Chain A
Amino acid sequence: MSLQYVFIEAFNNIRRNALVVLGAILAVFISLLLMFGTLIFGEIARINTLRWSEDVRVIVFLRDEFRDVDELQEEVQGWEEVAEVFYLSKSAAYDEALELLRNNTAARRVIEEQPTILPASLRVRPADLTDYDTIVQRLQGSPGVEQIITAGPQVDALAGLRDGLRVVFWVLSIALGVAAVALIANTIHMAIYARREEIEIMRLVGASNWFVRIPFLLEGMLEGLFGGILAIAVAVFVYRLSLDRLTDLPTFINIQIGNEFLVRWGVLTLVFGVLVGAVGSSLSLAVHRYLRT
């Protein structure tokens, strides 16, 4: 079967039901926009709360000459205010710093010149995420402790916001994704119905099942792809716009995310859009009586 035939058929279908197809594409678009937006927002939040991920609220930097790390870790782990303690070595601290300072070349260069400048640390996840003063007080006297820093209210707020929004966004994305699948299934259903005579004749003269189906499958995938492209274009546009406009943010907030991230997740979002289209059209093809053998 010629590729040209398949594409012409798919495009003709889309043209014939322009309005319904537009609805389906918009559904894919909104769903994927939310998904991609959530990913971007999540990345920004992650960059800004990197050290405080996994609910770490207290970081205990250790003196380089301190040897009894294991004992200290064990002791702190035993406290009832503490949910978990883990150890971050000097080399791990170096990796973390490079990530944290990704957009701060000057600071990064300083660290790169002296990879051992950063201390090892204990990271503490408190049992109660909003109350960790006791832990700080109890640690203060310990012999190996160089410095203690805590998350503070901004991080608590940002992390809370991040988790909350993430749930809302994912639920919305999934719900809209399901709607998008259903709408695409509907457009394919209409396309099949519109062409039922042609399908009947194709089957009479012995066209293979795939020959009959592939144009419809492709149509759904194209609709998903268009929705995905639209979503990415809008998301990237809005993101770029906010980079330009939001110049007076507090310095501790960093909204720069790498292009690599945008490209990787952009491609995945497109793939997901195509997948939504494929699932939608497959559903329609599977249930349609004109195609049943």
Chain B
Amino acid sequence: MIRLENVTKVYDGGVVAVKDVALEIAKGEFVFLVGPSGSGKSTLIRLMMREDQPTNGDIWVAGKHASAMANWKIPHLRRSIGTVFQDFKLLPNKTVYENVAFALEVTGRPRSVIRNQVPQVLKLVGLSANAERYPRQLSGGEQQRVSIARAFVNRPLILLADEPTGNLDPATSVGIMRILDRINRTGTTVVMATHDHAIVDAMRRRVVQLERGRLVRDQRSGVYERRSRSAGAITEELVAPLAVPPAPRLDPEIPARQPETASPPPPAAEVAPTPSAPPPEAALPEDEPETTS
């Protein structure tokens, strides 16, 4: 469904965002892209949706050679990809229904299809009762569900989500993950970039980890982070300039978490039966950390 071959992306100014990444994602898979900010997750998502072109390498998405296709063909590629972002990207002057219908309208779908599909997908995300509301009248989680509904309404083959729970509290995030899981169960390939340890650890899906643009781990039923000494060293090196003092090193459990203080603390019990789980981390330190595919 998605194949990346030796993909490198260097932005203007020489910033290497993605370096020599090879990745194959099969139809129907659910894949987490994890890694610290700036590790290249978002760039990878942008490359997959052909918002950017790789500097080197080839990308195939939904059977199309995305990295080599002409610009005018991009809209057709996009119709087989749904996209969800951290900031929802809803239109404030349109209702929930209109926001979702917009995706079908602008791709020229007949009105009968719109009238049929929009209520269906609103039901899927549990927003049937809010169809006539405006985004500002909704909570963050509800807004994100609208944006998922919009991404899914034309039944794309692939759903790309760039930190969809980044602005949401843990309990709300659980609701979002349930919906993404449900969408994945319909056969849709889901690729989700995230910082959210709890979610990744609870879902136990394939985890692809990036560090400074390189793919450092690709693991079935993975967790957010397992630190080999080297990976930990890299993280520390990255975090060093920040105000986190080396002190936490004394405690083997803290350094794993502390650099990511921005991410939500204890996840909701429904998803993660072992909330804020430091024990698993302590238990798993030497577990084959780098199975680069």
The CA-CA distance from A205 to B100 in the complex, in Å, is 10
A208, closest chain B residue (CB): B75
Shortest CB distance B88–A (Å): 10
Please determine whether A205 and B89 come into contact, CB atoms closer than 8 angstroms: no
Beta-carbon contact of B102 and A201 below 8 Å? yes
Q: How many residues of B contact A (CB 8 A)?
A: 22
Q: In whole angstroms, how far apart are the Cα atoms of A211 and B102 in the complex?
A: 13
Q: Assuming A1-B108, A202-B106, A204-B83, is B75 touching A209 (CB within 8 A)?
A: yes
A203 interface residue per 8 A CB criterion: yes
**Which residues of chain A are within 8 angstroms of B106 by Cβ–Cβ distance?**
202, 205-207, 211-212
- A1-B108, A211-B106, A211-B108 known; A206 and B89 CB under 8 Å? no
Bitwise, A256-293 to B at CB < 8 A (1) or not (0) is 00000000000000000000000000000000000001
CB distance B91 to A206 under 8 Å?
no
B78 pairs with A206, CB closer than 8 A? yes
- Contact between A201 and B91 (Cβ–Cβ < 8 Å)? yes
* Alpha-carbon distance between A289 and B79 when the two chains are bound, in angstroms: 22
Task: Tell whether, in the assembled complex, residue B107 and residue A206 are in contact, meaning their CB atoms are under 8 Å apart.
Answer: yes
Q: A99 within 8 Å of B by Cβ?
A: no
Per-residue CB contact flags for chain A residues 167-202 toward chain B (1 = under 8 Å, else 0) read 000000000000000000000000000000110111
B91 near A207 with CB under 8 A, answer no
Interface size class of A (residues with CB under 8 A): 10 to 19
Q: Which residues of A are at the interface with B, using a C-beta cutoff of 8 A?
A: 1, 5, 197-198, 200-209, 211-212, 293
Sample of 28 A–B contacts (CB below 8 Å): A1-B108, A197-B89, A197-B91, A201-B89, A201-B103, A202-B106, A203-B75, A203-B78, A204-B83, A205-B79, A205-B103, A205-B150, A205-B151, A205-B154, A206-B74, A206-B76, A206-B77, A206-B78, A206-B81, A206-B107, A206-B154, A207-B75, A208-B108, A209-B72, A212-B106, A293-B71, A293-B72, A293-B74
**Bound-state Cα–Cα, A206 to B76, Å:** 6
Task: Output the least CB separation between B144 and chain A (Å).
Answer: 15
A35 to chain B, nearest CB (A): 37
